[in-house]
Structure 1
Amino acid sequence: MAKIEPLTFSADEPNPRRPGSPGTVTPGLAANSSAAVDGAAIACPGPSADNEMSGRMGSRPVGFPRAGPVAYWHESLKATQWEDPLTEMPQLNLSGIVLDAPDARELAAFYRRLLGWAVDQDEPEWVTLVSPSGGAGLSFQSNSAYVRPVWPAPPGAQQPMMHLDIAVEDLDAATAHAKAAGAVLADYQPQDDVRVHLDPAGHPFCLYLAS
């Protein structure tokens, strides 16, 4: 198996995981545990280390979601090939993303209004929405022990485990639509070309200008 060296960035080098850092990045799917769902990229929020924003990888406010998908591959990763003579790569297909909520149907109804997707499965504790153009679906699961996340999360609070990035052409119009659908505009807005919202279950999602 090829060895992958850890990626590090100084203050003067482009940081692929921090929007607005020096260097050129390409809109698309992020390399840090993200998945695309018909224009909406689902990504893990950044590290929760209590530090200020700088040019180093992972330096962002506590619980700060990455706003807008970026694609970046280090040269060492481009050339990496996983070699295992004993097994073959199985067929793996990402079929969907699941969001927990106190009430699956309530949160699904919100995202149906927001995205305009159709209902594919509808059960008391499980609902799946699918895009008219295909691709992975978005599912919702009722969880009686669900704890509403806080964003930005202070120390000790429940932090968001993931968020949605949704590309739009008009931020003002998209924000008005999201609020009409039932979203809440977050008090803290870290970027001019992004609007962070909270869905009815408290999950943050970002509307960002498509390039």
Structure 2
Amino acid sequence: MSLITLGVVALDCPDPRALADFYADMLGWRVTEEDEDWVEIAGPDGRTLAFQRVAEGYRPPQWPGQDMPQQLHLDFDVPRAKIDEAERTIVALGAKLVQHDDGKQSWRVYLDPAGHPFCLCMR
């Protein structure tokens, strides 16, 4: 067993509270720590996401282009039969669909309100 474990994944953004609220609403998690430059949300299983302010010059990733590569993306599992319902929910929260599944893949790609790509993966 390793002495090292994953603690938190942090996303840069211009407005940490707004992006934390988006993901908290999407996942049914809650804000657990907050100051003006850092907000954390946690789920019932102890997983944590954090959002940190980039005060000036924030540039969102440009997916699928490589001029501003994504550098990191998040995958969220959804039951295959519930994918359309999940999509309606996250789009209502502010996500933008950028790649629909074509029947050959089992995921759809979205951008969060700060421009980070993430996927809903059908399981």
TM-score by length of 2: 0.88
Within a 5 Å distance, the mapping from 1:122-137 to structure 2 comes to 122-134=34-46, 136-137=47-48
Supply the AA of the counterpart residue of 1:111.
Answer: Y
Structure 1, gaps ≥5 residues long: 1-88
Q: How many residues align?
A: 118
Within a 5 Å distance, the mapping from 1:1-211 to structure 2 comes to 91-134=3-46, 136-144=47-55, 145-154=57-66, 157-169=67-79, 170-186=82-98, 188-189=99-100, 191-192=102-103, 193-210=106-123
Measured after TM superposition, the shift of residue 208 of structure 1 is 1.1
Structure 2, gaps ≥5 residues long: none
Supply the AA of the counterpart residue of 1:151.
Answer: W
Higher relative contact order (CA 8 A, sep 6+): 2
Question: Deviation per CA, 1:11-70, whole angstroms, max 9, x where unpaired?
Answer: xxxxxxxxxxxxxxxxxxxxxxxxxxxxxxxxxxxxxxxxxxxxxxxxxxxxxxxxxxxx
TM-score by length of 1: 0.53
Max radius of gyration: which structure? 1
Distance (Å, rounded) in 2 between the aligned partners of 1:178 and 1:131: 17
Which structure shows the bigger proportion of residues in helix conformation?
2
Q: Please, what is the CA RMSD of the aligned residues?
A: 1.7
Question: Deviation per CA, 1:130-156, whole angstroms, max 9, x where unpaired?
Answer: 11122x3100000123211111115xx
Measured after TM superposition, the shift of residue 178 of structure 1 is 0.8
